[in-house]
Structure 1
């Protein structure tokens, strides 16, 4: 892994664990085993530019995973259940769902930085688009598919946060059942 990729990967993990404000540059430098000059060589605008690169990495990883799950299943209901089952299994195995949530970064930085807000918005829009496309393929109207996709995104992201705060997978299990029933009603 090249230095820039190492910095992004390490910072992403730290930001997800501790939040943007909870991680100092010195902690990132120490974890990567690099100098400040090396970090600024790759990210001349500093920590915020690094955060945006981290969000782009998360965007690629999350959306690739969701697209893969949604392509393997014939209906949005089956794909949604499979995706949430994966999140539950990850949570129950690891005690967290770091790969799928970036809410802490959004809540800390989106109101303070327009570039960060845009990067977060792009990720949510991309996730919603994957859901909406599958729902439309299932026969939902574009308007209904877009509405349900928004609700799915909010529910799953909120469910992940509830799992983390409650230290239990029950919120995602409930959301999976509710979404399944909603998608069956079509």
Structure 2
């Protein structure tokens, strides 16, 4: 693994665990075992530039995973249930779901730049497009599919935050049982 990829990989984990504000440059340097010069060679604009690279990497991983699940199952209902079950499994195995969301970073948005805000927004938009396309394939109008996709995203992300704060997979279990049923009734 090259140095830049190593920095992105390790820093992503640190940001997921501690949030952007909770991770200092010295900690990144120490955990990555690199010099300040090496860090700034790859990220001349500093820690925020590294954050953007981490968010882009997370976005690729998260959307790829969602696309894979939504391509494997014939309906939005089945795909949504399987996706949420996967997240529950991760939570129950690891005790966290930080690899499935950027919520810990988004919660610090007021102190971050418009570029970071835009990068985060892009991930949510990509997720909603995957949901919306599947809903449209299920026969929903484009407008309805887009609206339901926003509701799905908000429900799933909210449930993830509740799981993390309650240290329980129950909120995702509730969403896993309820959300697919709602998709039938709409």
TM-score (norm 1): 0.98
The answer on whether the counterparts of 1:136 and 1:145 sit within 8 Å (CA) in structure 2 is yes
What secondary structure is seen at the aligned counterpart in 1 of 2:10? Answer: helix
Q: Which runs of 5+ in 1 are unaligned?
A: none
Which 4+ residue blocks in structure 1 deviate beyond 2 angstroms? 109-112
1:57 matched residue in structure 2: 57
Alpha-carbon deviation of 1:111? 5.5
Please list, as runs of the form range in 1=range in 2, the aligned pairs for 1:26-175 lying within 5 A after superposition. 26-109=26-109, 112-175=112-175
- Whether the 8 Å CA contact 1:110–1:116 is kept in 2: the answer is no
Shift of 1:109: 2.9
Q: Deviations over 1:96-132 (max 9, x none)?
A: 1121111111121355310000000100000000000
TM-score by length of 2: 0.98
User: How far apart are 1:23 and its partner, in Å?
Assistant: 0.2
Please identify, of 55-64 and 97-106, the stretch whose mean Cα deviation from structure 2 is larger.
Answer: 97-106
Residues 22-60 of structure 1 deviation map (CA, whole Å, 9 limit, x = unaligned): 000010101100000000000000000000000000000
Q: How many residue pairs are counted as aligned between the two chains?
A: 186
1:181, 1:107 → 2: CA distance? 30
